[in-house]
Amino acid sequence: MNPVRPLKCDIFFYKLQISTFDMLLKNYLWREV
């Protein structure tokens, strides 16, 4: 098995998850203001 490819996928999904969470958080804060 090649360990590099799953790692890249994990990093991609991790970044995607973080950016989605960040976007939701900003939308929530924007609504509160």
pLDDT digits (tens, 9 = 90+) for 1-20: 566 677 888 888 889 899 99
Nearest one of 22, 20, 18 to 30, comparing CA atoms = 22
- Per-residue model confidence as pLDDT tens digits over 19-33: 999 999 999 988 876
Q: How far apart are the C-alpha atoms of 32 and 10, rounded to whole Å?
A: 33
For the full predicted model, state whether its pTM sits above 0.85.
no
Q: How far apart are the C-alpha atoms of 28 and 21, rounded to whole Å?
A: 10
- Start-end of H helices in 1-33: 4-32
